[in-house]
Amino acid sequence: MSCVQRLEIKLKRPNAIFETWLEHWLQVAERRNSKSRYKLREALNALKMYPLPLASGRECGILRGFGPALCQLIDNEMHKEQHKAQAVAANNNRYQNEIRNVVESVKKNKRKQKDKQTKLTKKERKALEEKQRHSKEVIMQPRTFRIKLIVDTQETSGKHKRLLDQTRSYLECLKVDYEVRRLTVGDFLWLACDQEGNELVLPYIVERKRMDDLSSSIRDGRFHEQKHRLNQCDIPNVIYLIEDYGENEHLGLPIENLQQALINTLIQNRFSVAHTKNHSRSIAYLQGLTQILIRTYKDKVLKSCANVDMARVSQSSKTEMSLLKFKSLNEDSARNAQLTVKELFILQLLQLHSLSLEKSLAIATIYPTPRFLIDAYKECKSLQDAQKLLANIRFGQLQRPVGSKISQSLHDFYTNEF
């Protein structure tokens, strides 16, 4: 295999104009003996070490020492001095052109070289074939495929031997065509499989929760994380299958709280919620849904599509359907694979007591990362102002404030050293 050449391009002062402004503000702060001089010096050092050109104050927010106020100050300065803003844009364009020229030069030199073609190993050849197969469009004609239920491995294993094969035995008794695999999202879904080994995912996925498991997942934050991943998996029809736990006593949370969580799931997340008395009734529900899906899709033409084309699913005709490949779904739905820093910050907030999803979203809208929040705390004039920083943030349809108690708790959490 040909050796990959790594290029390193460095500018001497990629953000010279911003550095000049910061140096001037730092001099003023030092003359006035202002506390802001420490933050300005920290920001200036971070800017000098950053190797890429930045186009605005907002982009500077990724660097240490740049809080919301300092980022806004840079943007205001750019607005006042339009000619310098144009110089910043020209600097960025020049940097991009230099990179493009170097890359093109390397490519040209590579084409001139006569590299010997090395034979692919068996492993590399198999990987290449798998990649080509993965990108190839799949078309399944009516009645040339079978539909089977896919069961997550977690649903067929357990700590107690009595429950080890319970799901399997119920499915076999009901004569359901099923297969056990590891799913990165959901507990049950359905595949259309043809004789060539192609697999397309039908647009339905089920997350099963027993009432005691629902309670524990709400308390430890898994409930919101799982709903987020189900929202991101590009399967339009999500079903929460809720099982009773005996008489639903000693669940760890009041039954009213669990019912409210399910109502929120139904209304806010637009998931379907089904309720069964026990595990055997849940499997019977899945068996009935399997038969409905077989009748619905057996006479359709099924075509594969990429995640970005999933909007076509809702626009499919009565005789044709666009579906995801199973491998694409499993790869793209791996835990945290698509979480941004903001989304991880929201999940972190959800672990804290009394913070709902609506409150967390409202806080993250103003302070999208922990760094923005901590910098905002540092810029407060007094400890009391810092503790009340988040108190008046509005959330939800009723636009209620977050409150001083939660604001103080978050301040203590993010400013104290443990």
Distance CA 349, CA 360 (A): 6
Is there a catalytic annotation at residue 75?
no
Residues 6+ apart with CB under 8 A from 199: 191, 192, 193, 325, 326, 327
What's the DSSP call for residue 362? H
Q: Counting Cβ atoms within 10 Å, is residue 71 exposed (0-12), middle (13-18) or buried (19+)?
A: buried
Rounded (5°) CA angle 205-349-232 = 25
Is there a catalytic annotation at residue 152?
yes
Given a contact cutoff of 8 angstroms between Cβ atoms, the answer to whether 18 and 60 are in contact is yes
Given a contact cutoff of 8 angstroms between Cβ atoms, the answer to whether 185 and 233 are in contact is yes
3-class SS letters over 12-29: CCCCHHHHHHHHHHHHHH
Which one-letter amino acid corresponds to residue 94? R
Q: Which of 75, 187, 199, 256 is catalytic?
A: 187
Q: Which of 77, 130, 152, 212 is catalytic?
A: 152
Is there a catalytic annotation at residue 309?
no
The helix (H) or strand (E) run that includes residue 43 is: helix 36-49
| CA gyration radius, the chain | 28
Q: Which of 155, 199, 234, 375 is catalytic?
A: 155
Catalytic residues: 152, 155, 187
